[in-house]
Amino acid sequence: MLAEFRENIYHCLKCGACRIAYPEYTPICPSGERFGFDSYYAIGRMEIARAVLEGRLEPGEKMAHRVFTCTSCGACEEQCRPAVGNRPLKVIEELKADLVEKGFVPANLRNFLKNVHLYGNPYQAPREKGGEWALGSGVKEYRGEEYLLYVGSEGSFDPRGQKIALALAGILQKAGVSFGILGSRENCDGNEVNRIGERGLFEALAEENIRIFKELGVKKVVTLSPHAYNTFKNDYPGLGADFGVVHYTQLIRELIAGGKLVPKKSPAARVTFHDPCFLGRHNQDYQSAREVLGAVPGLELVEMERTRRNSFCCSGGGGNCYADLLGGGGDRNPARIRVREAYGTGARVLATACPACAVMLGDAPAAEGLEGLIEIRDVAEILLEAL
């Protein structure tokens, strides 16, 4: 209920700190940069929430576009919380839930939700095709192994995500990790559904996943995506989950530290790392992926200006990896902005540790005229090549 966030809404100082990363003073909100009006930044969305709360503004399509183009990246909170002590993203997500309840959801996001509801994934892929990405790789369905490898919808069905899933599986095999996958029993984790505010569907997905995990006796999960990691770690325990979860970069860091994986070759000289929002800002892990990259001999890791807590979102969160509400926009497109920033460091590889980031950033080098000059790679792909 929006009314429960009255205090947050009225405590917005209209200072605009949520638009700019401190102390670099660089733009930080992907939707604001894409569309340019205050109503696409947290500052404007707080005003929209206040107007809705006071009954001065009726929900409509224009309002829904301004609200659902928020990618839940958390950058506004990262600026607002220390400066003002407020939680703008909490308010925006409550506003989304309010709009879902009133039936105002942009068509692309409605389709995303419908597909997840009907198919258990946003790709309209039949469930029985869930494990096809792993055919011929030697990866087996989960039967009580130490880890369940949860690859998620991109890892299962998106061609880019499938390559990353295979790279990760290859690394785990080389390290001798005991793991299995759910294959046709894998279901959407629901992180995006929850962030969009479709809470009924989220709870149904989570309860179903928890039931399957319990039935199979899963005690440890390793995820390909930071989005799944986020919801398994932070949302599922409140719904009765009793399994531990790590993001794959965390497990690999341990395997390298324990001598189970020894990177030997350098597949890329200069690399910069794009912090995925659901690994970094939402879960405070800025280090694992950097340590994995740092273990590759000869690899030079350089930082972009917007890094770690001030990372600039690729625009794929909040369901936008599928709905693409922030697509287009020429050189104001967030993925293109990010690729320009990465190229400016002198890096020739933009690394990330999230299949959604890899998908979102994937077309940006060509759009920027940088095809062949900078490559988008996942940490798992870089490491596998180095082993």
Interface with ligand SF4 (CB under 6 A): 12-18, 28-32, 41-43, 46, 70-76, 79-80, 84, 86, 88-89, 92, 313
- Measured CA to CA, the distance from residue 174 to residue 49 in angstroms comes to 51
Q: How far is the CB of 171 from ligand SF4 (least distance, A)?
A: 31
- Measured CA to CA, the distance from residue 320 to residue 305 in angstroms comes to 24
Q: How far is the CB of 31 from ligand SF4 (least distance, A)?
A: 5
The residue (of 253 and 306) whose beta carbon lies closer to ligand SF4 is: 306
Token pair of 262, please? 């020894």
Contacts of residues 251-255 at CB distance under 8 Å and 24 or more positions apart, as own/partner, are 251/147, 251/172, 251/177, 251/222, 252/171, 252/175, 252/288, 252/292, 252/379, 252/380, 252/383, 253/288, 253/291, 253/292, 255/175, 255/177
The residue (of 49 and 148) whose beta carbon lies closer to ligand SF4 is: 49
Contact 203, 238 (CB under 8 A): no
Q: Which residue has tokens 């179903």? A: 208
Q: How far is the CB of 48 from ligand SF4 (least distance, A)?
A: 11
The residue (of 33 and 378) whose beta carbon lies closer to ligand SF4 is: 33
Write out the DSSP string of 324-366. Answer: -TT---GGG-HHHHHHHHHHHTT-SEEEES-HHHHHHHHTHHH
* Burial class of residue 215 in the structure, from the number of CB atoms within 10 Å of its CB (0-12 exposed, 13-18 middle, 19+ buried): exposed
For 136-162, the three-class secondary structure string (H helix, E strand, C coil) is CCCCCECCCCCEEEECHHHHHHCHHHH
Q: How far is the CB of 235 from ligand SF4 (least distance, A)?
A: 17
Q: How far is the CB of 96 from ligand SF4 (least distance, A)?
A: 10
The residue (of 80 and 149) whose beta carbon lies closer to ligand SF4 is: 80
The residue (of 5 and 142) whose beta carbon lies closer to ligand SF4 is: 5
Q: How far is the CB of 309 from ligand SF4 (least distance, A)?
A: 12
Rounded to the nearest 10 degrees, how much is the dihedral formed by the CA atoms of 168, 170, 176, 182? Answer: 60
Q: How far is the CB of 317 from ligand SF4 (least distance, A)?
A: 8
The residue (of 74 and 316) whose beta carbon lies closer to ligand SF4 is: 74
The residue (of 28 and 221) whose beta carbon lies closer to ligand SF4 is: 28
